[in-house]
């Protein structure tokens, strides 16, 4: 996510956020597998997955917001850092 934050264009940032989403789902899959093979307690996994799902919802909201702005304003990011000459 931090890597995408420093991208030049909003579309690149959104791509990084989608990658974060895929990684989160992969982690959830690994956690559930670990519970199935008794490497982690199922209730602990459920709590962790609940937090992941909350984060994924926030991530979905962020992606939707950025995609709306791209549609309205274009793909360039507004830079908050001024360049000195």
Instruction: Quote the CA–CA distance of 51 and 47 in Å, as a whole number.
Output: 7
**What does the H/E/C string look like for 8-68?**
CEHHHHHHHHHHHHHHHHHHHHHHHHHHHCCCCCHHHHHHHHHHHHHHHHHHHHHHHHHHH
Report field, pTM of the whole predicted structure over 0.85: no
Confidence band, pLDDT 50/70/90 cuts, at residue 83? very low
Give yes or no for residue 8 having a pLDDT over 80.
no
* Confidence grade of residue 75 (pLDDT, cut at 50, 70, 90): low
Q: What is the pLDDT of residue 6?
A: 78
Weakest mean pLDDT among 19-23, 30-34, 48-52, 74-78? 74-78
């Amino acid at each position: 996510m931090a890597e995408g934050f420093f991208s030049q264009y909003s579309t690149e940032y959104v791509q990084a956020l989608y990658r974060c989403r895929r990684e989160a789902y992969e982690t959830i899959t690994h956690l559930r597998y670990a519970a199935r093979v008794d490497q982690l307690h199922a209730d602990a996994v459920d709590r962790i997955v609940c937090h992941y799902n909350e984060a994924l919802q926030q991530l979905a909201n962020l992606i939707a917001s950025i995609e709306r702005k791209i549609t309205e304003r274009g793909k360039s990011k507004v830079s908050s850092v001024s360049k000195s000459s």
